[in-house]
């Protein structure tokens, strides 16, 4: 798996410990954490632990996370990557987040498009999945822009802050 992916405005670089401070700023924002599978971080050490975990998963090819850098400012504006890589079935799940200050500039669709191209062209992936809470309208818009198909509702699929919540399953196939 590549350590760097370029887009017109961004570079996706495999996440590293030195990114922790910048990613902590993003992951400590309740507006960003709201629909991720995390509570908003309260200490930078949590970002370090998350990065270590993601890189352990990368070593065994179960996942890979990239920090998203603005090519112009060199600043980290988010992260994205493949969770749950299922080689046997040529299937991956994607995840993404962008710092609130940078929302609305199309950075998430641009980052995810790079993941899609990498998955279908270089990684031999056939199906890309995205699981979204229905209330996460911003994320649904990203998936619609990228022409993902809504497949249905996974009823009470996740326990979020003590409550079971429905999850919407979206997918994009290589031959879509």
Ligand X SMILES: CC(C)(COP(=O)(O)OP(=O)(O)OC[C@H]1O[C@@H](n2cnc3c(N)ncnc32)[C@H](O)[C@@H]1OP(=O)(O)O)[C@@H](O)C(=O)NCCC(=O)NCCS
Q: Which residue, 122 or 149, is less far from ligand X as judged by CB?
A: 149
Residue sitting closest to ligand X (CB):
104
Distance of CA 2 to the CA centre of its chain: 16
Radius of gyration of the chain (CA): 15
Q: How far apart are CA 130 and CA 142, in angstroms?
A: 11
Q: Which residue has the tokens 């299922």?
A: 86
Nearest-approach distance from CB 63 to ligand X, in angstroms: 15
- Residues of this chain that interact with ligand X (CB under 6 A) are 32, 35-36, 96-98, 103-109, 132, 136, 138-139, 141-142
**Residues 99/31, Cβ–Cβ less than 8 Å:** no
Q: Which residue, 85 or 108, is less far from ligand X as judged by CB?
A: 108
- Bridge partners of 65, per DSSP, are 81
Q: Which residue, 60 or 71, is less far from ligand X as judged by CB?
A: 71
Nearest-approach distance from CB 86 to ligand X, in angstroms: 18
**Residues 68/76, Cβ–Cβ less than 8 Å:** yes
Nearest-approach distance from CB 109 to ligand X, in angstroms: 5
Q: Which residue, 126 or 136, is less far from ligand X as judged by CB?
A: 136
Nearest-approach distance from CB 115 to ligand X, in angstroms: 13
- Helices 137-145 + 107-117 axis angle, to 10: 50
Q: Which residue, 96 or 148, is less far from ligand X as judged by CB?
A: 96
Nearest-approach distance from CB 101 to ligand X, in angstroms: 8
Q: How far apart are CA 135 and CA 142, in angstroms?
A: 13
Closest listed residue to residue 4, CA positions, set 134, 163, 115, 130: 115
């Amino acid at each position: 798996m590549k350590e760097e992916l370029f887009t017109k405005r961004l570079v996706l670089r495999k996440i590293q410990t030195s990114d922790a401070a910048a990613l902590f700023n993003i992951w400590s924002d309740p507006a960003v954490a709201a629909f991720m599978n995390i509570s908003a971080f309260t200490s930078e050490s949590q970002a370090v632990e998350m990065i270590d975990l993601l890189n352990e998963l990368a070593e065994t090819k179960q996942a890979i996370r990239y920090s998203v850098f603005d090519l112009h400012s060199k600043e980290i504006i988010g992260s994205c990557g493949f969770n749950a890589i299922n080689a046997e079935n040529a299937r991956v799940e994607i995840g993404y987040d962008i710092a609130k200050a940078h929302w609305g500039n199309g950075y998430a669709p641009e980052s995810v498009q790079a993941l899609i191209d990498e998955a279908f062209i270089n990684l031999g992936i056939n199906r890309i999945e995205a699981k979204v809470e229905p209330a996460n309208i911003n994320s649904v818009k990203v998936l619609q822009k990228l022409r993902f198909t809504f497949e249905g509702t996974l009823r009470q699929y996740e326990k979020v802050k003590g409550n079971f919540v429905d999850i919407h399953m979206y997918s994009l196939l290589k031959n879509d």
